[in-house]
Structure 1
Amino acid sequence: MEEKKVNSFLERLKQKAQNQTNYGGEADMSEARMNAKDCPSCGAGRAKQDGVTHCAYCGFEFLSIKLTDGVYIKKEDNSI
């Protein structure tokens, strides 16, 4: 009888192992790539990230951003 309990316990463990899924879902299979960009001024490499506006080495400006009125945020008017 003791052997039957052990077998049923082992069978349940095997069943749980076969039914489990990966934590966080299935892995996204994509080709390897390097997400980097070189500075056109000095040639220094940098990670291509949103929000990086200047080269850390020479100060070259990658993006020039002009703020305009948004839906909820308005430019301040200092003439009052």
Structure 2
Amino acid sequence: MSDQDKKPLSFIEKMKLKAQQQVSYGGEAKQENAKVDVADCPNCGAGRAKQDGITHCAYCGFEFIRVKLDDGINIKKEDNSHDK
């Protein structure tokens, strides 16, 4: 073996090797076809984006989702503790 084969890598060569070996944090990007998530209002036919939390049609007021709040861990329907 010659002396050139045993020569240590320079700082620049080490950085180039690291750059070639690194992977992105999120992993490889997934290839998906483009799409649009929309739904029509069953009452008036107006289009709307499918989003969580949208409960009423912006055009006719039709109620898509009925939300009923009840007692939770931190939020209560009626809390009178601050009145005392």
TM-score normalised over the length of structure 1:
0.65
Q: Match for residue 74 of structure 1?
A: 76
Q: Match for residue 25 of structure 1?
A: 27
Q: Secondary structure at the match of 2:18?
A: helix
| Structure 1 unaligned spans of 5+ | 1-7
Q: Distance in 2 between matches of 1:28 and 1:68?
A: 39
1:54 deviation in Å? 0.7
| Structure 2 unaligned spans of 5+ | 1-9
Q: Deviations over 1:29-69 (max 9, x none)?
A: 44544322111011111111110001111111101111111
| Greater C-alpha Rg | 2
Q: Secondary structure at the match of 1:34?
A: coil
The count of aligned residue pairs is 72
Identity of aligned residues (%): 66
Q: Match for residue 3 of structure 1?
A: none
1:43 aligns with 2:50: no
TM-score normalised over the length of structure 2:
0.62
